[in-house]
Amino acid sequence: MATPKLSSLLSLWRRSSSSSIWGRSLNRYSTAAAAAAVEAPIVPNVDIKYTQLLINGQFVDAASGKTFPTYDPRTGDVIANVAEGDLEDINRAVAAARKAFDEGPWPKMTAYERARIILKFADLVEKHSAELAALETWDNGKPLQQASSAELPMFVRLFHYYAGWADKIHGLTVPADGPHHVQILHEPIGVAGQIIPWNFPLLMFAWKVGPALACGNTIVLKTAEQTPLTALYVAKLFHEAGLPPGVLNIVSGFGPTAGAALAGHMDVDKIAFTGSTETGQAVLERAAKSNLKPVTLELGGKSPFIICEDADIDKAVELAHFALFFNQGQCCCAGSRTFVHESVYDEFVEKATARAKKRTVGDPFKSSIEQGPQIDSEQFEKVLRYIKSGIETNAKLECGGERIGSKGFFIQPTVFSDVKDDMLIAQDEIFGPVQSVLKFRDLDDVIRRANATRYGLAAGVFTKNIDTANTLTRALRAGTVWVNCFDVFDAAIPFGGYKMSGMGREKGVYSLNNYLQVKAVVTPLKNPAWL
C-alpha cells in the first residue's frame, strides 16, 4: 500500500471530487437517485470469519448462548449473527484482563518488545486492508473509497504512532528538601474498559486501544452493537502479531447489559467511552458509583462552521458541504451549524443547495457514490423526525428532506435556510445529512451564538483575515478549531471537547495520560554529607 496522505480527510474528498469517478453527479433528486439506492446491492468479496467473543485469546460463545444480528444498512438484511455478551461475559473478560495485567508478561515486557508487537500488528492490518475496508463498509454503510483510502491508512498510522511512544514513556527525578532521592514514575493504570461507537468503528478502536497498549495496560473493549465485525477481525490479527492472551478482550453486546456491566465493574481501573452525551453521563455515573475509576469521554457536538464576509464562496460552499455531509453526517464534530455572514448569505444558500442536489447517494461499494445509508432504522427515523421538526418550525427546506428508495436507510442530502438558534435542528445533534444555515451580523454576534450551546467539541472558521481568524479561534469554546479547513486529523493532534462534549483528550501525547498512574518514590540518602 502506498504511503497515505493523512494530513486531512478533506484531501481525499477533493481528489475524489475532481476525478472522473465522481463526475456522474445528479443535478436533482430523481428516479436516478432512487435507483442508485434500491437496485441490487453489490455483494462484497469478504468472508465473515469472526462472530464470537474474544476472551483470553480465544473466540468463545456468549455464556448465555445468545446471539444478535448485525445488519446491512443498504438493505436492512442480516449480515451475520454475533455472540451477545452480557454481565457474565464481561466478568469473564475482566478476569482475563486482570490476570494478564497482574501476572502476565505484557506490563513487565520491555517497552521495545511491546512496540515491536504493535508494529507487527500494523503491518498485518495493512496486508488485510482491502478485506477490512470492505467489511467496514458492509457493516457500517460508509463509502468504500473512504474506508479504504482514508480510514485504513489512518488506522495503520495511528498504531505506528503509538508503537513509537511505547519506549518513550518515562518519569522524572525531582529535587526535594532534605537528603532524599525522589523519583516520579509513570505506570500503566491497569485494566482499561473501553466502549466504542458505530460511526468510525476501526478508527475508534485505534484511538482507544493504541495508547492503552503502548502504556502497558490490558483491555476489555465493548463494540457498538451495530458494527461489531471489524474489531473482532483486527483483534485476531493482534494475537497473530504476538499479543499475549488476556491483554485485549472483545465483548460484543448492548449498552444496558454489557456496557453498563463494564462501566460499573469493580476490577476495571479506567473507562474510556465515545458516544452520545446522554450515554456518557450514564457511564460516568456508573463508574463513580462503583470504584471511582477515572473516565474519559468523547461525546456529542453541534459544531459551528463560520463563513465570514471575505470568504471565497465557492470554496466555502465545498468545505461546508464536506464538514456536514462527510460520513453521512454521522460525525460528532460535524459542522452542523453553518453560520454565514449576512452579506454573502443568499449567494451561499443558493450554491450550497446546488451542491447538495449534486451529491450522489447509493450503494457505498460503488466508486461513484459520495453518500451511503444511515447506520440503522433507529438513526434513520431520528434524522427524518428532525427534518420534519425543521419544516414545522418554519425553517426553509431548500432541498432534500425525504428518504431515497423503499429499502435500506438512505436519506436525501438536506439543506435548511432561515434557521433560527432556538430551533431543534440548530440545537440538537442530528447525526445525519442535514445542513442548517444561519445568518450572522458581525463577530460579536456569531461568537455569542456559536458558544450558546451545551456542546464544545469543534468549530470551523473560513476567512482570509488573520485578525478575524485569531479573534474567533481564541473566543470559540471548543476543543478543536479548524481555520480554512475541516476534519483535519493526525495521530499527533489531540481531540476532545469542552462542556458537555466530554472530558480528556484522544490521540497525541495527551491520550497517554489517560492510561497512566503517577507514583512518587521517595528514598532517604544515608550519607548526605557530600551533597
Distances (CA, A) of 4 to 7, 203, 230, 322: 9, 15, 21, 20
Sheet-wide strand order for 248-252 = 58-60, 53-55, 248-252, 218-223, 191-195, 270-274, 295-298, 502-503
Q: Helix or strand or coil: residue 333?
A: coil
Pairing type for strands 414-417 and 434-440 reads parallel
What is the spatial distance between Cα 502 and Cα 300, in angstroms, rounded to a whole number? 8
Task: With CA atoms as reference, report the closest residue to 352 among 315, 303, 389.
Answer: 315
Percentages helix, strand, coil for the chain (3-state, rounded to 5) are 40, 20, 40
DSSP label of 453: S
CB-based burial, 417-449: b 16+ in 10 Å, e otherwise: bbbeeebebbbbbbbbbbbbbbbbeebeebbeb
Asked if residue 447 lies in contact with residue 349, where contact means CB atoms within 8 angstroms, the answer is: no
What is the spatial distance between Cα 26 and Cα 32, in angstroms, rounded to a whole number? 8
Question: DSSP of 268-323, one letter per residue?
Answer: --EEEEES-HHHHHHHHHHHHHHT---EEEE-----EEEE-TTS-HHHHHHHHHHH
> How buried is residue 361: exposed, middle or buried, by Cβ count under 10 Å (0-12/13-18/19+)?
buried
Pairing type for strands 304-307 and 337-341 reads parallel
Is residue 113 among the annotated active site residues? no
What is the spatial distance between Cα 362 and Cα 32, in angstroms, rounded to a whole number? 10
> How buried is residue 339: exposed, middle or buried, by Cβ count under 10 Å (0-12/13-18/19+)?
buried
Pairing type for strands 58-60 and 53-55 reads antiparallel
Contacts of residue 11, defined as CB under 8 A and 6 or more positions apart, other chains included, come to: 5
Q: Of 84, 151, 225, 298, which is the active-site residue? A: 298
What is the spatial distance between Cα 79 and Cα 76, in angstroms, rounded to a whole number? 9
C-alpha cell at 280: 456518557
Other Cβ atoms closer than 10 A to 276: 16
Catalytic residue numbers, as ranges:
298
